[in-house]
Structure 1
Amino acid sequence: MTRQTFLRSAAVLALAAAAFVMPVKSDAVQVTAFQQAVAENVSRDDEIAAFYRDRGFAPIWTGDSPADFARRTALIEALASARHHGLPQRSYNQDALLARMASVRNGFDRGALEVQLTELYLDFARDMQTGVIDTPQRVHREIVREIPRRDAGFYLSGLLSDDPSAFIASLVPQSHEYTRLMKAKMRLEHAVSHGGWGATVPSRKMEPGDSGQGVVALRDRLIRMGYLKPTVTASYDAAITEAVATFQDRHGLTADGIAGASTIAEINVAPQDRLKSVMVAMERERWINRPDGLGDRHILVNITDFKARIFDHGKLTFETRSVVGHQELDRQTPEFSDEMDHMVINPSWFVPRSIIVREYLPKLRANPGAVSHLEITDSRGRVVSRNRSFAGYTERNFPFAMRQRPGPRNALGTVKFMFPNKHNIYLHDTPAKSLFSREVRTFSHGCVRLNDPHEFAYALLAPQTDDPVGFFHRTLRTGQETRVNLETPVPVHLIYRTAFTTPKGDVQFRRDVYDRDASIWRALSAAGVEIGGIQS
């Protein structure tokens, strides 16, 4: 702590302890004025109004009791930490608050201040616990996550505990991921305040054996970023190759140690932009700060990382590559959480209406025999003959459905994993295996395709059968569409993180393939979130 920070903190605590408010006295005029002011100021919030009515309009902040002092001290100290969490410190305006405290002269002023402190506390508590952005779908329509908001009573009753500072501290997401992101934020802020990572690297391919100024620029930037130990080499040697490969691995690139165009583009990203990614990730972590956590066993699909993972009691137990929705808005994979309760082995593919009318109907109008691998069915599920014309149908009046029966060419492959949801999103196998070798895997219509679906099934079935492999393959060999229920449903979280960490604390970065982080950062910035004290 610097001397300036220490003096400011001491002054804040002294003011919190001072008689800047008028204590509750027996004087009926003072009490009535305080109660009147509270009643008038809480009228716009039913929850706060109910809280104070239940207390007989007694103060929780502005009295002269040790408990009141402890609560206002806890709030002031918490507000001072807002910037460290990437919260909009200007919104809480600590200096104006302290000035307001010092200006109280009568019971009515004190009552108005009492309510202001409660409202400020609730704003801060909700921002800290579940995010600054309370409705993410207003920022991007495919962020359809339900934020686990708590009501005012939760925050106010918790504040009345014996240790209000501990309660406020408990509002911070307790996940290891949030803690590691905070540390990453501090490291990046240090880099920004100390001049960043130096000059950018020339945009030309460099590989082992090269030398010259481009290699020197690459070397210097890798050193500043912490991927390479200090060296004076001007040659693209083994140490630089290893540093580039490590960088690539932590940025979702092919880790071949060659600095090609995509690698250099990522190396040249400014620390300020990486810092924004981390701060957005912290906001997203607050959005899933659920009272019951993510689940002892849960599935986590990071859309930007193109991976699906199973966690058991906080430990990664299974991982596979994934393919997610295309960048086109109507095909993007949405963000939400739900519960997987069954899988279907040898599934039929019931073609989504959007695909039918936009992709297949134009082909059917031109040729009734088109897309012959799909059955056309009526409202009763009966197959419709193709010995007819579809030319008169439009997107609005096409009355039929389409399905693909189980088989080796089925679009869903051999198994699909269901967590029934209104978005019609699920995880599944695919016959298009070659796509899993791509760096950027945005090829689906929104569902998540898995590179290792059978192994994924074994992992899910393991808790309920002694022979998950045998059970799966016996069912598969029947060729019959078979629903297999999970005895214990598994929470599924489809998330979107361009910055995330490993258990060792390494920070990984991914490309913002849907431009969602850019939209979130604009919203955070508009709310007052700042980088290095400068709003951006």
Structure 2
Amino acid sequence: MRPVNLPVSEPVANPGFAPLPPTDALLRLVDRLLRLEEDGLDPAHYAIPDSTLAASDPAAYRAALHAASAAAMSDLLLGRVRSMPGRPDFRRDPALIGLDTWLMELATTPDPAALLDRAALLPRNAAALKAELARQRQIASRPWSPIPGESTIDPGMVDSLRVPLLRARLAVEDPVLAAAPDAGSLYDPVLEEAVRRWQAMNGLQVDGRVGRITIGLLNRPLTARVDQLRVALDMARAQPPASAERRVDVNVPDYRLRVVEGEREILAMDVIVGRPDRATPMMAVRLTAIQFNPPWGVPERNAREDLLPRFRRDPQAMMERGFRVFSVVGGERMEIDPRTIDWSSINGRRFPYFVRQDAGDSSALGRLKFIMPNNEDIFLHDTPDRHLFRRPDRAFSSGCIRLAEPNALMSTLLEGTAGWNLSRAERALASRGTSVVSLGRSLPVRLHYNTVMVEAGGRVRIRPDIYRLDAAYARAMANAPRPQVAGLARQAAR
């Protein structure tokens, strides 16, 4: 679009729109609309009129500019994506915004560009997110080439192809490395420190070894982070305020659980979430009970895909780990000795048995299960696989949430439950018997998906888009229709 260059003149009378602002304000408005990408929006979505129309048909130009400004204002305040299927964690409250009031001011203000600036900064952390978006756009514009292969590049190695590509890729976003002397094909200590910085920034194991996971993320298009920031900005718009009620908040791609009351954090811990092919579903439910020493009724998919190969290898070992096999005979469930089953004949597409693992030290659920009724059979639980919490990437489960500190959560949740305290809970665990306590105060639980976090001081941290939900949201932003608010703008201008 060519810049506007208009002589100062009286506007053509039109009762549907406010008078045009002075020419300099008009120029600022057009420039602001063309810079909507700073806010994560695409200016092409708003039908910004071409400057040639201003001279040939001022009334039509004014109408088109009002419509573009009102549509942009609507998306800046309410978000471009108004709802997402399968995302109950994604919430907006348009009533908090008062769009009509903003549109009224837009139609009458002498400086509409300044009003758009105010709207753009309304969401929480908008300034920090916009600054990071600008930085990531600049990084994404720099050339680089993918690193071939998946074999690990270790410090001290010499590789005439991959080490220079690794250095060039990291130098795109690491000014310290970009300014350092080039060691050519040697993976030298300067490059290792750059790798470690990059691994820490991206939530990976900080070991300086460039393996399959690190290479995969390094080879991801840099525009993916730009899209993650655009999504974070859009999701922040018209967000309802945090509840004052004590609640459990699990940010799935950040592998983190928090118990929060208002803005105060009471408890925080690492968690393990569902792997991408068994993604943890986003949900908003209530945690109602704690089960001590829970048995595990194995879902059929887990039995088919995870346990069947292990039964084929060693049914005796599975028995020793507390797994029991049942079949329905004459309408009744009967236990079967797994050593008597020809496991090689079982079709992996259909598992004819029901499997349960008894409570115990080796139980997949550990010693504690936190019950939050839902249609997906998702819950929080302990785990015997404590070593996995040492990993920075923790998408390993079949969908449920494994807790790094289950006893701490148990102690927090039991507050206010009559007759229960930590001592009684510890006795229930030590008994090895299965029992359940209903909480005196159920807590809301929100499993949500936010890959972009703004930390103290405005530092922005971006986690990998493990379930590709940000990518899906970015596509929805591209495909969302233009807001139909021109009529409201005309009404407000009268």
TM-score, normalized by the shorter chain, greater than 0.5: yes
Match of 1:257 in 2: 208
Alignment partner of 1:136 is 2:84? yes
Q: What do the CA deviations read for 1:264-307 (whole angstroms, capped 9, x no partner)?
A: 44334443333233323434444xx5322366755443333433
What's the secondary structure of 1:385's corresponding residue? Answer: strand
The letter of the residue matching 2:99 is Y
Q: Secondary structure at the match of 1:422?
A: coil
Q: Structure 2 residue aligned with 1:272, among 223, 246, 253?
A: 223
Tell me if structure 1 keeps the 8 A contact 2:293–2:368: yes
Which string of whole-angstrom CA distances, capped at 9 and with x for unpartnered residues, describes residues 369-408 of structure 1? 9988458699xxx9833489x9xxx9xxx99988666544
Gaps of 5+ in 1: 24-58, 67-71, 530-536
Residue-by-residue CA offset, 1:208-251 (whole Å, 9 max, x unaligned): 33467555554454343126352215254444332211211222
| Whole-angstrom CA distance in 2 between matches of 1:243 and 1:268 | 16
Cα drift, residue 409 of structure 1:
4.3
**One of 335, 339, 344 as aligned partner of 2:282:** 335
In structure 2, how many angstroms separate the alpha carbons of the residues matched to 1:73 and 1:205? 54
Decide whether aligned partners of structure 1 residues 276 and 148 sit closer, same or farther in structure 2, where only a CA change above 3 A counts: closer
The answer for the alignment partner of 1:516 in structure 2 is: 469
Pairing 1:473–2:426 present: yes
**2:242 aligns to what?**
293
- Taking only aligned residues, the RMSD between alpha carbons, in angstroms, comes to 5.4
| Residue in 2 that maps onto 1:93 | 47
- Indicate conservation of the 8 Å contact 2:291/2:370, yes or no: yes
Q: 1:489 aligns with which of 443, 461, 469?
A: 443
Aligned counterparts of 1:206 and 1:273: Cα–Cα separation in 2:
24
Mapping of residues 73-472 of structure 1, within 5 Å? 79-95=33-49, 99=53, 103=57, 121=70, 123-137=71-85, 142-145=86-89, 147-148=91-92, 150=94, 154-157=98-101, 159-160=103-104, 169-170=118-119, 174-176=123-125, 178-193=126-141, 195-196=142-143, 198=144, 205-210=152-157, 215=163, 217-226=165-174, 228-229=176-177, 230-234=179-183, 236-286=187-237, 289-293=238-242, 298-311=247-260, 314=263, 318-328=267-277, 331-349=278-296, 373=323, 384-386=333-335, 406-438=359-391, 440-461=393-414, 469-470=422-423, 472=425
Percent identical residues: 23
Q: Note closer, same or farther for the CA distance 1:188–1:470 as it changes in structure 2 (3 Å cut).
A: same
Q: Aligned in 2, Cα 1:119/1:345: closer, same or farther, shift over 3 Å? A: farther
Using the alignment, how far apart are the partners of 1:355 and 1:125 within structure 2? 48
How far apart are the structure 2 equivalents of 1:248 and 1:414? 33
Give matches, 1:25-44, under 5 Å. Answer: none
User: Separation in 2 of the partners of 1:360 and 1:200?
Assistant: 38
**Secondary structure of the corresponding residue to residue 333 of structure 2:** coil
Structure 2: how far apart are the matches of 1:341 and 1:171? 40
Counterparts of 2:20 and 2:145 in 1: how far apart (Å)? 57
- What letter matches 2:284 in structure 1? S
Secondary structure, counterpart of 2:364 in structure 1: coil
Q: Could you tell me how far apart the structure 2 residues matched to 1:504 and 1:211 are?
A: 40
1:183 CA displacement:
1.7
Distance, in Å, in 1 between the alignment partners of 2:72 and 2:289 is: 40
2:182 & 2:381 partners in 1: Cα distance? 49
Kept after mapping to 2: 8 A contact 1:343/1:486: no
Letter in 1 for 2:293: N
Q: Distance in 1 between matches of 2:97 and 2:388?
A: 50
Cα displacement (A) at 1:89: 1.9
Please tell me whether the aligned partners of residues 378 and 399 of structure 2 are also in contact (alpha carbons under 8 angstroms).
yes
| Equivalent-residue separation in structure 2 for 1:362 and 1:188 (angstroms) | 45
SS across alignment from 2:94: coil
Q: Residue in 2 aligned with 1:69?
A: none
Match of 1:222, SS state, is helix
Give the whole-Å Cα distance in 1 for the aligned partners of 2:303 and 2:215. 41
Q: In structure 2, what is the Cα distance between the partners aligned to 1:241 and 1:377?
A: 56
Q: Give, in whole Å, the separation in 1 of the partners of 2:416 and 2:180.
A: 52
> 1:201 & 1:362 partners in 2: Cα distance?
35
Give yes or no for contact 2:290–2:438 (8 Å, CA) kept in 1: yes
Deviations 1:435-479 (A, max 9, x none): 4445654443321112322233345556889x9754542443353
Give the Cα–Cα distance (whole angstroms) in 2 for the partners of residues 233 and 445 of structure 1. 45
Native 8 Å contact 1:208 1:236 kept in 2: yes
* Conservation of the 8 A alpha-carbon contact between 2:381 and 2:401: yes
Which whole-Å CA distance do the structure 2 matches of 1:94 and 1:454 have between them? 57
Give yes or no for the alignment of 1:503 onto 2:450.
no
Tell me how far 1:168 sits from its aligned partner: 8.3
Taking a change above 3 Å as real, the CA distance of residues 80 and 424 of structure 1, as seen in their structure-2 partners, is farther
3-state SS of 1:308 partner: strand
Distance of 2:377 and 2:67 partners within structure 1: 42
For the residues of structure 2 that align with 1:517 and 1:417, how far apart are their CA atoms?
A: 29
Return the structure number with greater relative CO, CA threshold 8 A, min gap 6: 2
Cα distance change on mapping 1:257 and 1:477 into 2, 3 Å: same
Cα 1:284–1:475 change in 2 (3 A) is: farther
Counterpart residue type for residue 368 of structure 2:
V
State the alpha-carbon separation in 2 of the partners of residues 310 and 77 from structure 1: 44
Contact kept, 8 Å, 1:310 with 1:319, in 2: the verdict is yes
> CA offset at residue 255 of structure 1?
0.5
- Secondary structure of residue in 2 paired with 1:473: helix
